[in-house]
Amino acid sequence: MVNTRLGQWLNLLVCLLVLLKAESIPVGITYVPSAVPKGAVCLDGSPPAYHFSEGFGAGINNWLVHFEGGGWCNNVTTCLARKSTRLGSSKQMVKEIAFSGMLSNKQKFNPDFYNWNRIKVRYCDGASFTGDVEAVNPSTNLHFRGARVWLAIIEDLFAKGMKNAENAILSGCSAGGLTSILHCDRFRSLLPLRTKVKCLSDAGYFINAKDVSGAQHIEKFYSEVVATHGSAKTLPPSCTSRLSPGLCFFPQNVAPQIQTPIFFVNAAYDSWQIKNILAPGVADPHGTWHSCKIDVKKCSPVQLKTMQDFRLQFLSAISGLNASPSKGLFVDSCYAHCQTEMQETWLRDDSPVLGRTTIAKAVGDWFYDRSPFKKIDCPYPCNPTCHNRIFDPNHNEHLE
């Protein structure tokens, strides 16, 4: 029986791998050595990098620039730990990654953007591409230059044809989704006025909420990120002119003032936020939330009530977006994090839907002005199309 069960699992794994291969394409890495003389480097001083799948046909002058996520480092100790990984050094990055979902080149899986120039920018600065500290301590050799990296990447893509773009999207997942929020208007300002420019944030709307112990854990953490990386001068002045720089790392204090059209894809029960903002390890020393954070079906009634309250806080944090006709919303009630890069959540027969609409169709209709889209799901567990998975391709570390 054991051998039979093992065989069934192996067959299932093989089928999944075949399916993933059919739905994705491998894309090689491109380093940007020209960025180094400008000081636009990763934490360890190595050149930034991205993966580029060229557009074709009618999409040859359209550009989708997607920023990778991967959390943040908030002090020298955590940045040193990050420095020797793919999240702090291009030397540690794999040479090839799979493009799927919004980055797919197959019309069946990505009907509106499959033939665009599709770029995934690797994340190696630890502050959502906002840092800009000139000095480098020789004892640590840490470079806090994320804002310079962002600009160097954009300039490199301009040289490859993006300066002539007809359509352009700045997008990102998680910490990369925060990047697309913080840099949205700047991206618009760098492109010609004739270019249609919009932004998209996937799982990047991190809210300023207390943890289960009542502490402002994430607020303190973000303030430390901004201070360590010298991010204050690169954050949107529409926010820093009103609030302290640390608070301007929260989308709820920035997004309402964004002038460029922007679309937000987010789970109301974002699995990363539940694990790291609501119930981080420091606030749960006895691990009572451990099983719940792994599988939402294992949450106790009290924990589910706490998560429902968190959803209400999230809805309050996005309420300022409702009045703007240029902003789009796809807020589902799934227990998920990052839904645009994965084929199963972007566009497949069993993908999550709101109002019978997939994320892919909602974003495509909004970008091409076919129809606006602003929908917020009913509370968990009302949506049977949710996959409620906690896998996240960009995160293997937590704040705890």
Phi–psi pair at 353, nearest 5 degrees? -135, 155
Q: 30 forms bridges with which residues in the sheet?
A: 50
DSSP 340-373: SSSHHHHSSTT--EETTEEHHHHHHHHHTTS---
| Catalytic residue from among 112, 125, 156, 270 | 270
Closest Cα to residue 323, out of 369, 285, 364, 374?
374
| Catalytic residue from among 337, 351, 392, 395 | 337
Annotated catalytic residue 286:
no
Question: What is the rounded distance in angstroms from the CA atom of residue 325 to the CA atom of residue 331?
Answer: 16
End-to-end CA distance of the chain: give it in Å, rounded.
Answer: 40
- The answer to whether residues 230 and 144 touch, using CB atoms and an 8 Å cutoff, is yes
Question: What is the rounded distance in angstroms from the CA atom of residue 337 to the CA atom of residue 329?
Answer: 15
CA triplet 387, 104, 318: central angle to 5 degrees? 50
Phi–psi pair at 197, nearest 5 degrees? -120, 130
DSSP 143-178: ---HHHHHHHHHHHHHHTTGGG-SEEEEEEETHHHH
DSSP SS3 for 320: helix
- What radius of gyration do the chain's Cα atoms show? 20
Annotated catalytic residue 332:
no
| Catalytic residue from among 174, 271, 333, 351 | 174
DSSP SS3 for 25: strand
Annotated catalytic residue 271:
no
Closest Cα to residue 148, out of 69, 248, 70, 41?
41
- List residues with catalytic annotation: 174, 270, 337
